[in-house]
Amino acid sequence: MKARLLFSMFFCSLAFDLALAAGRLDWRIVPAAVVGWCLADLASGLVHMYINYRPCAPGSGLRELYFWQGSRDSAEFLARQSEVYARISAFERIVYDFKKHHPMPDLLGRHGMLHLMKGPVFLITLPLSLTLNLVFALTSPPAWLLVGAAVMILGASMTQAFHGSLHRSKVGRSYGRCVRSAC
């Protein structure tokens, strides 16, 4: 229920920015949208590299979870995971949850788009979008800036979903055909 409310707020926030731009559209919105998308991609890459190479908190137990040899569905693993998660910050958990798809690439691809968007939306892009709503309502910026910002925020929100789609074992009908026939 909380997730639905937060996602509703997020999409309404983006719609608000676009509604502010609606009456003042001009040719600059197209380049602004492209630049916004590129900035989202750049930010995603920088965050991805930071999280990948950021060491987990020493002595937290995350190393043992990451290199767990048995079943991750076992009662022993789940109990250990709960114990470790209780000791670490929300940020450390996000870092670990992001990293754990490396030893198990299919793990990330099993989740749906909204599940993969939760972290970026709830922690970063929703607060940013709501802040920009306030700034934009008070300052009345040009439409191209509104559209560029909305596209950047949407793109940044979807980065983990795009990443997850690259880790799916089945990525679609045409791709499967191409791989089997060696293009």
Domain ranges of the chain: 2-167
**Most confident by average pLDDT, 22-36, 106-120, 162-176:** 22-36
Q: Which residues lie closer than 8 Å to 168 by C-beta, 6 or more apart?
A: 106, 109, 110
pLDDT for residue 178: 38
| Nearest-angstrom CA–CA distance, 41 and 38 | 5
Determine the pLDDT at residue 170. Answer: 67
**The predicted structure's pLDDT at residue 176:** 42
What phi, psi does 39 have (nearest 5°)?
-65, -40
In this prediction, residue 173 carries a pLDDT of: 53
The residue-averaged pLDDT of 134-156 equals 95
Terminal Cα distance for the chain, rounded: 45
Q: What percentage of the chain reaches a pLDDT higher than 70?
A: 92
Q: Look at residue 132 and tell me whether its pLDDT is greater than 60.
A: yes
Residue type, 93: R
**DSSP category for residue 125:** I
User: According to the model, what pLDDT value does residue 172 have?
Assistant: 59
The DSSP secondary-structure symbol of 176 reads H
For the segment 30-39, the average pLDDT, to the nearest whole number, is: 97
Whether the model pTM is above 0.85: no
The mean of the pLDDT values for the chain is 85
Given a contact cutoff of 8 angstroms between Cβ atoms, the answer to whether 9 and 121 are in contact is no
For residues 123-142, average pLDDT? 94
- Convert the pLDDT of each residue in 43-78 to its tens digit: 998 988 898 888 888 889 988 888 888 888 899 999
73-105 pLDDT, tens digit per residue, is 899 999 999 999 999 988 888 888 878 777 777
Q: How confident is the model at residue 108 (pLDDT cuts 50, 70, 90)?
A: confident
